[in-house]
Structures are given as C-alpha cells and as structure tokens.
C-alpha cells in the first residue's frame, strides 16, 4: 500500500473550505513560513479511500475477539460518546466563569460521588490523565502526608513482584525507594516476607489487586493492617477494577488511596495512546493534599476551590480529560448499581470459563479460581516442541483473533494472559477456545508450520528488535 505522501499530486485539492468569518490580521514577517508545509495534496475522494483502506488493515474490538489481558479492551458503548458530545459539554471552555458551567461541575461532582461509592473512598480528583499518572498523584499524597507530620525518615514503598510494572516506576519518580517482595508459591503476597521488610522507613505499600496473575490477595486485611501498624499508608492500584466493582471496595479493605483507570474498567476509549483518565480517590485525612482545584458544593450550585494551601499542586492542566470522565459517568449511570455488579460477576465467570476449558491442553500458571483474567505458560511446549508464546499469539491472528497480552507478567515464563471481559458472548469465547485448542494440536503435530504465522496479514513477522532499536519515525521520500 502506498503512503499518503506517495499518492500526493501537486495542485490537487480537497473540497471547499468555508469563507473566513473573522478579521484577517497579517502575521509579522519573522513568524511567517518561508517554505511550503509539505502536506500531501489529494482530493477528498482519494483521502477517504486511503483512510478506509488503512482501517481495513487494522484490528480492533469492533472487528473481532480481543482478549487483551489487563487492559480490559472492552466494548465502549456508543451512548458514552453521544453524551460527551452534547454541545453543553463539548463546546465549553475551561476558562469560562463557573456560573456558566454549572452543569459540567455537577457532572464532575456526580462522577466523584459515584466512583467514591464504588471504591469506598471519601474524595476523588480527576486530574490525572492515566493510570500511571494517578499512581504518581497518590504516592505524592502519601509522601506529603508523612512530610506534614515531620515524619521524613519514611522513604520506602513496598511493592510485591506481582504488581504492575508502573508501581515501582512511580515510586522512583517520587524520589522514594521501591522495595520488592517476592510472591509466595500461590502467587500472592507472602506475609512473612512482607513482615521482614516492614519497618520505620516504610512510607507505604502499593498493591495491585487483583494482582497481575489475575488473583485476589486473600490476606488483604492483614496486609493493610501490617502496614498501618508500622505507620505506613496503603495504596490500591485499581486499574483493573473489572473483577470487583459493586462487590468489594478498597476503602473497606483498609486502603487509604486508590486510582482507577476509566479507560479500562469504565469503558472509555483505550489504545493508540489515549486520552485516558486515572482518577485518584482518597480518605478524608488525605483530602487536603489533593491536586487543586477541587469541585465543591456552594449553596445550590458548585464552585472550583483553588484555596488549598496543603495541595500537592497541579498534576495536569485544568480538570483532567473531562470528556473521558463524562463517558465513564454515562457508563456507570446506564449500568446502575445492579448492572455494575453484574458486569464484574460476568467478567469473572467468563475468565474462569475460558481458563477451565483451556486447561485441557494448556498449562495455567497458578491454576486457582481467577478474577477477570488468567495467565497461561507455554514453557512446557517451548521445551518439547520449540513453540513459544509468541508463536501461539501469531497463529491466533490467522484465525481472526487478536493476540492476548504476551510475556506479562514477568514472573511467568512464556506467558499468555487472557482477559475475555464481560461483553463477550459464550459463542465468541467458544470459537476462541476452539481456535486455541486447535493451534495447540498443530503445535504438537507440526510445530514448524507455526513459526511462519501469521500468513494472512499484509505484514508477517517483523524484526521486533530492529523496530525497537532503530525505529524509522519519519517519512523519507
């Protein structure tokens, strides 16, 4: 397929631009471009065909099964988009006086109230633009809490090795030290190992729950208790709340602070880099440190409170990715209290259904009842037949299924992580199970044939190392 620049013909134009309806003012000579900008030149018809052709070559949740573990690539209901596109939301400016944007503030306040109810928190900020950004905000709150008490010796945050990789990275970004603890044989936090590292330097603990193996931490109350008794605070990585929303609440488990990924659990767009939203909830005692401004009730209406002397400051411009919050709010309101719970129970049921069926052939790492996802390990097949997790993933592409997450979590060799989510039907899952079982048979009988997969795509196997080390990010015509 030709690049859009290669299709360009000098002088060819798009359809008509509307007449300019504002006064034209001349830019100073020094600011003017001296050479043409070099955009492709083509007709609207050709442009439309070009992008449609590109679309046909990509694969998304609208094209077929997309079992992308840990990312909750679930269907984004169209009504979410419709609501966020309402002119009263879409056409406002962040610098408008608050009395003219009361509806928008009310939407933020309502989203805060509902997500606090789901997480068991007292307050929430919508400024963070992603999960990792929310983690940074939350750990800064914890750091500020200790600093305000003059407790400056606390510089360590404990992070189990089954945590999401962003957790230790976040700790480093705040200038604190991440202390890793190895999981027990059941894939969960080992309480003895935890107790061994807790001490006067402990500022807190970050827990990914369900952890990256898709397992619920069974000693969760003891874990939060151990940290609190040592004077630390506990942070809940709630990026994947898909298994527990409406059923269990981090606030009731003793957590002081939590982030959510609206672009995972709460069905807002995900992929291609955003925009995301990683709101952070906290208990009352951490609220003075939240990023400013915060939305507050004032009389019959709402206002934005900037007067927060203890605030950690701004984390992002304005109020976060507002249109994404609107989509999540729509999702919560359309599902309702019962629907939220049903989504979680169905997600867990679907994951366990696939886990059970696939365990006929595949080795499940830590084969216990899982939450929203589970992890298979291909290390046996690799040893016997030379077939890797990547081979299986590529073979799935030829059968019209998007590969699951590969080689994650790092503590499982040759990992394939499957997360069907609640929006997939039994028929779709059965087809995927059949495809995976069939690929397994091929892997045993004729392993060579799988090394070449995928065969049905415009590009087969790429040299991933070269792509990462020597990326070509510019068109060189």
Ligand X SMILES: *Cc1c(COP(=O)(O)O)cnc(C)c1O
In the complex, the residues that contact ligand X under the rule CB under 6 A are: 70, 130-132, 164, 166, 208, 237, 239-240, 261, 276, 278
The residue to which tokens 């976040």 are assigned: 170
Rounded Cα–Cα distance for residues 436 and 392 (Å) = 8
The CB-of-208 to ligand X minimum distance in angstroms stands at: 5
**Cβ-contact 213, 187 below 8 angstroms:** yes
Rounded Cα–Cα distance for residues 192 and 309 (Å) = 40
What single string gives the DSSP state of each residue in 257-296?
EEEE-TTTTT----STT------EEE-GGGGGGS-S-EEE
The CB-of-250 to ligand X minimum distance in angstroms stands at: 13
In the complex with ligand X, the residue whose CB is nearer, 246 or 278, is 278
In the complex with ligand X, the residue whose CB is nearer, 144 or 164, is 164
The CB-of-69 to ligand X minimum distance in angstroms stands at: 9
The residue of the chain with the least Cβ separation from ligand X equals 131
Backbone angles phi, psi at 160, to 5 degrees: -60, 150
The residue to which tokens 């290669």 are assigned: 6
What region does 246 belong to: left with phi over 0, alpha with psi -120 to 50, or beta?
left
The CB-of-244 to ligand X minimum distance in angstroms stands at: 13
Rounded Cα–Cα distance for residues 69 and 217 (Å) = 18
The CB-of-476 to ligand X minimum distance in angstroms stands at: 31
In the complex with ligand X, the residue whose CB is nearer, 71 or 453, is 71
Rounded Cα–Cα distance for residues 354 and 341 (Å) = 20
The CB-of-135 to ligand X minimum distance in angstroms stands at: 7
Rounded Cα–Cα distance for residues 104 and 254 (Å) = 32
The residue to which tokens 């991440």 are assigned: 178
In the complex with ligand X, the residue whose CB is nearer, 237 or 256, is 237
Q: Which two tokens mark 26?
A: 């001349």
First to last CA, the chain: 15
In the complex with ligand X, the residue whose CB is nearer, 268 or 423, is 268
> Residue 201: CA atoms inside 13 Å, Cβ hemisphere, count?
10
In the complex with ligand X, the residue whose CB is nearer, 278 or 420, is 278
In the complex with ligand X, the residue whose CB is nearer, 119 or 388, is 119
Q: Which two tokens mark 258?
A: 């939590």
In the complex with ligand X, the residue whose CB is nearer, 128 or 293, is 128
The CB-of-136 to ligand X minimum distance in angstroms stands at: 10
**Cβ-contact 456, 398 below 8 angstroms:** yes
The CB-of-163 to ligand X minimum distance in angstroms stands at: 7
């Amino acid at each position: 397929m030709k690049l859009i620049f290669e299709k360009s013909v000098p002088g060819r134009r798009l359809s008509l631009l509307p007449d300019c309806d504002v006064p034209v003012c001349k830019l100073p000579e020094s600011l003017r471009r001296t050479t043409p900008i070099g955009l492709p030149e083509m007709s609207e018809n050709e442009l439309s065909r070009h992008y449609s052709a590109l679309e046909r070559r990509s694969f998304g949740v609208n094209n077929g099964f997309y079992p992308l573990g840990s990312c909750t690539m679930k269907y984004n209901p169209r009504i979410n988009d419709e609501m966020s596109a309402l002119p009263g939301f879409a056409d406002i400016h962040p610098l408008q006086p608050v009395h003219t944007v009361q509806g928008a503030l009310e939407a933020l306040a309502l989203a805060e109230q509902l997500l606090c109810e789901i997480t068991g928190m007292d307050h929430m900020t919508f400024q963070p633009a992603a999960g990792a950004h929310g983690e940074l905000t939350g750990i800064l709150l914890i750091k500020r809490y200790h600093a305000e008490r003059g407790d400056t010796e606390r510089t360590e945050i404990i992070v189990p090795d089954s945590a999401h990789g962003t957790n230790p990275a976040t700790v480093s970004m705040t200038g604190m030290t991440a202390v890793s603890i190895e999981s027990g044989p059941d894939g969960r936090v080992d309480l003895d190992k935890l107790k061994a590292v807790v001490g006067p330097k402990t500022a807190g603990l970050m827990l990914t729950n369900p952890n990256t193996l898709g397992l619920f931490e069974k000693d969760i109350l003891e874990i939060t208790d151990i940290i609190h008794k040592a004077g630390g605070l506990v942070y809940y990585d709630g990026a994947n709340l898909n298994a527990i929303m409406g059923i269990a609440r981090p606030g009731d488990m003793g957590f002081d602070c939590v982030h959510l990924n609206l672009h995972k659990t709460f069905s807002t767009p995900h992929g291609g880099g955003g925009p995301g939203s990683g709101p952070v909830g906290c208990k009352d005692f951490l609220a003075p440190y939240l990023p400013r401004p915060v939305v507050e009730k004032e009389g019959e209406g709402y206002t934005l409170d900037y007067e927060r002397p203890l605030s950690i400051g701004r984390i992002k411009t304005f109020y976060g990715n507002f249109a994404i919050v609107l989509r999540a709010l729509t999702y919560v309101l359309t599902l309702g209290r019962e629907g939220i719970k049903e989504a979680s129970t169905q997600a867990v049921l679907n994951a366990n259904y696939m886990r059970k069926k696939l365990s006929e052939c595949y080795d499940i790492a830590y084969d216990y009842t899982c939450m929203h996802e589970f992890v298979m390990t291909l290390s046996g097949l690799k040893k016997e037949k030379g077939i890797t997790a990547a081979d299986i993933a590529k073979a799935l592409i030829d059968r019209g299924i998007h590969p699951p997450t590969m080689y994650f979590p790092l503590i499982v060799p040759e990992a394939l992580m499957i997360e069907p989510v609640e929006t997939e039907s039994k028929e779709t899952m059965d087809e995927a199970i059949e495809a995976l079982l069939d690929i397994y048979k091929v892997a045993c009988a004729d392993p060579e044939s799988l090394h070449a997969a995928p065969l049905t795509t415009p590009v087969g196997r790429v040299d991933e190392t070269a792509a990462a080390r020597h990326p070509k990010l510019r068109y060189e015509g």
